[in-house]
Amino acid sequence: MRWFAIFLATVSMASWARAHKILVDAWVERGMTPPTICGECRFGSGDAVKDAPVEIQSEAGEALGETRTDAQGAFRFVPTRGVTHVLLVKAGEGHAGKAVVDASDLPESLPGGVAPATTRLPGEESPTLPGPAVSPDLEQVVARAVAAEVAPLRRDLAALREKLWLHDVLGGLGWILGLAGLWAWLASRRGRPS
């Protein structure tokens, strides 16, 4: 009975820790002028994280700026450097979450930006595509429309990544039973003469 109580206590503590996690999803919207890091923050229940501070840091921990979530849990930040951005959200009472926007997702025009990899040989010209030139205004309209259509998909994907699946539970129980079996085997060997 004592082991069952310990098992129940362990399982319930894991769910408490999971309840304090904030799901943070962040991306770069290039259709905005200037390009902007956008994101959404939600609790495990799916409720929006309202009016929470979002700290933006480099990978080295250097502060790059801060912003706050709105009533829908969304936030925006205009990057000034082309480095990897780590976004930390803290909503109090132990609720915290993190997202990373890689430097390669940001425009090359930012200071410290990452140049895209090229497969052209030295001296080889870049190919030009035939067709009419697209105005920057049209590019922005299309980028905003695509971002609006993709936002629900991002939200659903983030929720699926954080969902606790049956195979996760069974895998955890397998580890617990396996370690308990190893302990029982070692305990039974102590009483035997060699």
For the chain, which residues make up each domain, given as ranges? 20-109+135-163, 167-194
117 pLDDT band, cuts 50/70/90, is very low
**Would you say residue 82 has pLDDT above 70?**
yes
**Cα gap 56→68, rounded to integer Å:** 11
Q: Which residues pair with 89 in a beta bridge?
A: 54, 97
Written out in words, the top-level CATH class of the domain with range 20-109+135-163 is: mainly beta
pLDDT on residue 111: 79
**Which residue type is seen at 106?**
L
Section 87-101 average pLDDT: 88
**Would you say residue 130 has pLDDT above 70?**
no
User: Would you say the pTM of this structure is higher than 0.75?
Assistant: no
**Cα gap 73→79, rounded to integer Å:** 19
Q: What is the mean pLDDT of the chain?
A: 78
pLDDT on residue 194: 56
Q: Which of 129-138, 168-177, 183-192 has the lowest mean pLDDT?
A: 129-138
